[in-house]
Chain A
Amino acid sequence: MSNKIKLAIIGIGRMGITHYSIINTHPAVIIKAVVDSSSLVTNLIHKYINTIHTYTDYNDLFENENLDAIIICTPPTLHYPIAIKAYEKEIHVFSEKPFTTKKKKAEELAELFEQKHLVNQVGYVNRFNDIFKAVKRYINKGIIGNVINFKSEMYSRTITKSEEGKTWRDSRENGGGAVFEVASHAIDLVNFLIGKPDKVTGSCMTSIFSKNVEDAVNATLLYKNGISGTLNVNWSDESFRKPTNKIEIFGSQGKILADQHGIKIFMKKKSPENNLREGWNTIYITDVFKPVPFYVRGNEFTAQLYHFIDCITGKEKRNSCTFRDAAATLEILEAIFNDYELNGKF
């Protein structure tokens, strides 16, 4: 019991609810406390799980609890001050994306957590999706030769009605808008699979329903080595039942098309050692999935949190999807904002 990782969750919204359920099943973890600005939510948890301490202010959490790890699921603008507090107390941190709203702050946190060797991870969950992991293996092996260009897309039906502009999602300052919420996933996937772009151009941001933020984003991503790609994101697209990432990568020896459910690979020449024939090949999630100990919403959600815990216990040596990775993603998000301000307006 005393050897267990003492953990708290800050922010019990949609992601906080899911993370609680998953992490609570990890045998090495004991949830000590939750924090939410709504006392209704904390009261409800306390009533049914009376061993859990509840707070409406995260400052009280750090003052009163002796913790090993926290999961941050607050609106993004609070990620930084909470992570700083955790750093001061030498607490390992899993933060939801986009991980702060400023590249500079994200880099500062990456630096601090690396110095103290604290486990630091951000919820770019696609990096733990079995399909995208397989795509990464194919690209690293050079299955499609040299990458030449790509398309990264993400669609969801997050905002489908006119917004009154009252929630944090409708404020860029608080980390709302389709760039922070949705494009961040599509860009992180590019960073993960191909590497960080060197330049952003042709950015366009469109409001569809939101009052103060963008609902759709386009941009062109360029690399010094000649690779180029496009980004196309829309969080007001009702034709998608679930949030969906799509990536298309064209290479000198073939092409990969992938979403969370499957991969299609076109091969110029067959590759028997990789079980790929000339022409089209299809790989389904059922071909590459790795079962997880407990399932809610998708294998990747469990895989990412168990990875966080395994890094703390030392079972896993290589911390992935780190603050450093998230800072690189934020750098591109900021580049899109800047490019649009400078070049995208008439």
Chain B
Amino acid sequence: MQPIDKIIFGDNQFFGINHMSQEKAQQLAETFFDISNILKTYDHAFEAGIRAVMLNSNDRAKEICDHFRSNKLNYPAINWYPSIPYPRKYANLISEKGIIPTINEVLFKGNSSMGVLGMIAKGSAAVFGKDAIKMMQMLIDVEMKIFKGLNVKVIFLQNIITDLLLGYDVKEIFIGYCNYILNKYEVLPGFITQNMPMLKAKLESWGIEEVVICSSFNKIGYLMSPDIESYVSVAKNNDSTKYQLMAMSTLASGAISATEAYAFINRQNIQSVVFGASSKKHIEETVSLIKL
């Protein structure tokens, strides 16, 4: 399995996401409303030596991708780690319209690039309704469009979707996802999860290997189900040629100081860290503290 980048720059700070404080999240959303502030922050990350970016396929990701695609020459070579989908988009649609109309809208409305497939299925999820794998493949293609032309290393399934599917315990969906990412996009499949020990055990029992698992990993056990001890022991016994582990929420949304947080992380058998920060100082400090 190709090794992934040790330090990856995340995106939560740009999109008004902060698990600890909605007020803080709102402030960040205001700052980063202007894309030039987002790009400035990426510049700080690249200056600090980071060459890898994780980006969720939300409403704003398109303009970020567009920028980096059209200005490739102005930047160092960057590895991209998309996470798909942006689940709120679907959740809101499902609330408003129900499941079937949502599938119809996302897959078949205004999606002319589907070509023949789109014509067969015109206006009807029913055609594919019995084949979840096929639907998933189509959704992946819809979500991945914005990343076209960028150097993608791993395609992650976003955590709400991974964990929701994990609860259903359906092997075929996970195998279907991994195979499609490997065969069509020729990159590593990845899963983001808040249930790392359970996900890893399931993947092992299903014979799914060579995937990247990204999960919360922090000193206080925040967003780590079932508990921190399981995480530490699973990581310790992990064979990184089969599963590369990536830590996120390392600061537990700011509850832990960076020094303390990475002193803990550096002791774990983890291959990579994804972190988000909005100031040059914090980015540089974090990079200097991560020693995997």
Residues of B within 8 A of A286 (CB): 20, 220, 222, 252-253, 255
Residues of A within 8 A of B165 (CB): 21
Stretch from B168-176, B183-191, B232-240, B278-286 at the A interface = B168-176
Residues of B within 8 A of A14 (CB): 91, 94-95
> Is B97 a contact partner of A47 (Cβ separation < 8 A)?
no
> Is A44 a contact partner of B125 (Cβ separation < 8 A)?
no
Q: Which residue of B lies closest to A166 (CB)?
A: B97
> Is A47 a contact partner of B20 (Cβ separation < 8 A)?
no
B203 at the interface (CB under 8 A from A): no
Q: How far is the CA of A14 from the CA of B164 in the complex (A)?
A: 11
What is the minimal beta-carbon distance from B105 to any residue of chain A, in angstroms? 12
B76 at the interface (CB under 8 A from A): no
Interface positions, chain B 263-292, Cβ under 8 Å from A, are none
> Is B20 a contact partner of A285 (Cβ separation < 8 A)?
yes
Interface positions, chain A 1-53, Cβ under 8 Å from B, are 12-14, 17-18, 20-22, 24-25, 38, 40-41, 43-44, 47-49
Stretch from A133-141, A199-207, A288-296 at the B interface = A288-296
Residues of A within 8 A of B125 (CB): 40
Could you give 10 example pairs across A and B, Cβ below 8 Å? A14-B91, A21-B168, A25-B167, A43-B130, A44-B129, A44-B132, A167-B97, A291-B226, A294-B195, A295-B195
A289-B222 in contact given A25-B167, A38-B100, A295-B195 (Cβ < 8 Å): yes
Residues of A within 8 A of B224 (CB): 291
Q: How far is the CA of A206 from the CA of B228 in the complex (A)?
A: 47
What is the minimal beta-carbon distance from B179 to any residue of chain A, in angstroms? 16
Interface positions, chain A 96-149, Cβ under 8 Å from B, are none
Interface positions, chain A 254-297, Cβ under 8 Å from B, are 259, 261-262, 284-287, 289, 291-297
> Is A292 a contact partner of B100 (Cβ separation < 8 A)?
no
**What mask results when residues 157 to 185 of chain A are scored 1 for a CB within 8 Å of chain B, else 0?**
11111000001010000000000000000
Residues of B within 8 A of A12 (CB): 99
B25 at the interface (CB under 8 A from A): yes
Q: Which among B126, B167, B198 has the greatest number of chain A C-beta atoms within 10 A?
A: B167
Residues of A within 8 A of B88 (CB): 241-242
Residues of B within 8 A of A167 (CB): 96-98
A232 at the interface (CB under 8 A from B): no
B17 at the interface (CB under 8 A from A): yes
Q: How far is the CA of A40 from the CA of B94 in the complex (A)?
A: 15
Residues of B within 8 A of A293 (CB): 225-226
- Known contacts A47-B130, A284-B253, A295-B163; 11 further A-B pairs (Cβ under 8 A): A41-B99, A44-B129, A49-B169, A241-B16, A262-B20, A284-B21, A285-B20, A287-B255, A295-B223, A295-B225, A297-B160
**What mask results when residues 112 to 134 of chain B are scored 1 for a CB within 8 Å of chain A, else 0?**
00000000000001100110100
Q: Report the 10 A-B pairs with minimum CB-CB distance, sorted nearest first.
A: A21-B167, A286-B255, A295-B194, A295-B225, A40-B129, A293-B226, A296-B163, A48-B170, A21-B164, A284-B20
What is the minimal beta-carbon distance from A96 to any residue of chain B, in angstroms? 13
> Is A18 a contact partner of B164 (Cβ separation < 8 A)?
yes
Q: Which residue of B lies closest to A170 (CB)?
A: B96
Residues of B within 8 A of A242 (CB): 88
Residues of A within 8 A of B150 (CB): none
Residues of A within 8 A of B225 (CB): 291-295, 302
A244 at the interface (CB under 8 A from B): yes
Q: How far is the CA of A157 from the CA of B255 in the complex (A)?
A: 28
Residues of A within 8 A of B226 (CB): 291-294
A13-B98 in contact given A21-B163, A241-B16, A296-B160 (Cβ < 8 Å): yes
What is the minimal beta-carbon distance from B138 to any residue of chain A, in angstroms? 15
A159-B21 in contact given A21-B168, A292-B226, A296-B167 (Cβ < 8 Å): no
Interface of B is mostly: helix
A241-B17 in contact given A38-B100, A169-B96, A295-B195 (Cβ < 8 Å): yes
> Is B129 a contact partner of A43 (Cβ separation < 8 A)?
yes
Residues of A within 8 A of B220 (CB): 286
What is the minimal beta-carbon distance from B221 to any residue of chain A, in angstroms? 6
Contacting residue for A24 out of B17, B21, B95, B168, CB 8 A: B168
Q: How far is the CA of A297 from the CA of B253 in the complex (A)?
A: 17
Q: How far is the CA of A293 from the CA of B227 in the complex (A)?
A: 8
What is the minimal beta-carbon distance from B23 to any residue of chain A, in angstroms? 8
Residues of B within 8 A of A22 (CB): 167
Q: How far is the CA of A161 from the CA of B225 in the complex (A)?
A: 37
B242 at the interface (CB under 8 A from A): no
> Is B198 a contact partner of A294 (Cβ separation < 8 A)?
yes
Residues of A within 8 A of B227 (CB): 291
Residues of B within 8 A of A38 (CB): 98-100
Residues of B within 8 A of A40 (CB): 99-100, 125-126, 129-130
Q: How far is the CA of A125 from the CA of B17 in the complex (A)?
A: 21
Q: Which residue of A lies closest to B91 (CB)?
A: A14
Residues of B within 8 A of A302 (CB): 225
B22 at the interface (CB under 8 A from A): yes
> Is A158 a contact partner of B198 (Cβ separation < 8 A)?
no
Q: How far is the CA of A47 from the CA of B170 in the complex (A)?
A: 10
> Is B91 a contact partner of A44 (Cβ separation < 8 A)?
no
Residues of B within 8 A of A13 (CB): 94, 98-99
Residues of B within 8 A of A25 (CB): 167, 198
